[in-house]
Amino acid sequence: MSRVLAVLAFVVALLAAASAGAAPVAPLAPEALTLRLPDLGSNYELGSSRCGRRSYAEERRWPSTLPSLSERFSHRGCVIAFGESWIAPGAAPRPDYVMSAAYSFGDASGPTAALQRPRAVAAHMLDADRRGDLKPLSVDGMLGDELHAFRLGGYPKPGTVLMWRSGSVLALVLAAGPASDRTTQTAIRLATAQQARIATPTPLLRSDLDDVEVPLDDPGITVPVQWLGHELPAAGGHPALSLDAVDGPNDYSPRGIEPYASLEYSSSHPRRYVHLQLWRPRTMRQFLRSPQLARLCIRRFDAHVEGMDATLLGSYQPIGACKFRRPEVWSAVAFFDGVAVQLDANGCYPCQASPRPYDSPAGLRALLRALRPRASSPGATP
C-alpha cells in the first residue's frame, strides 16, 4: 500500500500553463472531491488516505514520454482507499477494495494535457505496469468532460478503473472485482457519486470518514450490542470517553469464537482506556462459576446496580498474586437479554499506577449504568 500512496501523491505530466493574462484561480480542496463512506455502504472501512503535494525530486523517475511540470503548475491531490469489513450472507458480490483519487488544479489545462497519455497516467496513478496491467475498456455513457476506462489486471488489485476530467479536476476510481459487467457498473456508480461531489463540493465532515462503528453492523455479531455509545459525556467526576476501535467477529479465528465484539474507549486527559466485550450469557456464567477465578485470586462482589444483574471482579497485580487486602484492579460483568457485557477499566498508555478514573467499584458502576442497546445502521449499496 505504501508503494501505491507514494505514487498517488503526485499527479502526472502537465504540458501547458494557464492562458496569458488570466487571473490565477485557487484549486478546489481535493479532500472534498473524493468518495466518502456514505457513498459506499455500511460494510466498508477506511483503508488509507493521503492528501498533499510532493515535489518531483521526491518521486521515482518518470519516463521521458511524460516529462513532469509539477513544479511549474500548482495542484493538490488526495487519494483514499476503502476495504470491505464484512459480507452479509447471501448478498450480491461487491468490491472488496475501492480507491478514489482527485487532483485539483487552477484551471483545466493541466488535466487536459495529462489525459493526452491516459493509459500511462492511470498506470502511474495506480503504480501499475502500463505495458500489461491496464487494458482499454469500452463503457457506455459519459462522465465529466473526458472519460477513459481500463481493466486493471494487476497491482494493487484487479478491477475496473475509470479516470476522467471535470473542469480543473483529474479524478480516478478503482473498483476491485472480476472482469464483468457488474464490476464495471459498480465502478460507474461510484465514479458518478464522486463526480457529484466534484460538481457540487461540500465540506468534508468528520463523520464522512468515521468507520469505527462499521464492525458493529456485521451480521456475524449474533448477540445484541450493548455499549456506551459513540461518546460518553463526563459525569460525576469521571472523564468523557470516546469509542476508538472495534474488533468484530472477523477479527477472531475461527469465525464465531467469543467474544463476538470488543470495543475500546479512551479518555483524553488523562489518557486511559476502557475495554468492553460482548459474550454469550451462558459462556460468561460458566466463567464466573469456574474454579479458575479462585486460582487467579479473582474475587466476586455484587455490583449493587438497581435493576441490573451485574458482578464486580476484583484482583491484584500481577494477576494471580494473592494478597490479603482490598483488590487493586477491577472489572465488571453485566447480563442482559441475550448478551453478557464485560468491562475492564484498568488499561492505560503509558501504564501508571494512578489515576485510573474508572478502575474502581464506583467507576465501574457509572459505566454499568451508562450501558444501553445500540440500533444497527442501515446499509447502502454502491
More confident residue, 59 or 120: 120
Rounded CA-CA distance 89/110 in Å is 45
**Partner residues linked to 300 by β-bridges:** 313
Q: Using alpha carbons, select from 99, 101, 57 the residue that is nearest to residue 77.
A: 101
Rounded CA-CA distance 44/105 in Å is 29
Average pLDDT, the chain: 82
**Partner residues linked to 346 by β-bridges:** none
Instruction: Count other C-beta atoms under 10 Å from residue 229's C-beta.
Output: 14
SS3 271: coil
**Partner residues linked to 332 by β-bridges:** 312, 343
Give tens-digit pLDDT for 205-246.
Answer: 999 999 999 999 999 899 999 999 999 999 988 999 999 999
More confident residue, 164 or 321: 164
C-alpha cell at 324: 490479603
With cell 457540487, the residue in question is: 200
CA dihedral 157, 160, 161, 167 (to 10 degrees): -150
Rounded CA-CA distance 111/114 in Å is 5
pLDDT at residue number 61: 37
Q: Using alpha carbons, select from 358, 363, 369 the residue that is nearest to residue 306.
A: 369
pLDDT at residue number 131: 65
Domain 2-209 -> CATH class = alpha beta
How many CA atoms lie within 13 Å of 160's alpha carbon, on the beta-carbon side? 24
**In 50-79, which positions are buried (b, 16+ CB within 10 angstroms) versus exposed (e)?**
beeeeeeeeeeebeeebebbbeebbbbbbb
C-alpha cell at 265: 474507549
- State the sign of the Cα–Cα–Cα–Cα dihedral 361, 363, 369, 374: negative
- Parallel, antiparallel, or unpaired: how do β-strands 134-136 and 309-315 relate? unpaired
CB-neighbour burial class of residue 262 (10 A; exposed 0-12, middle 13-18, buried 19+)? middle
pLDDT at residue number 69: 41
pLDDT band, residue 55 (cuts 50/70/90): very low
pLDDT at residue number 9: 35
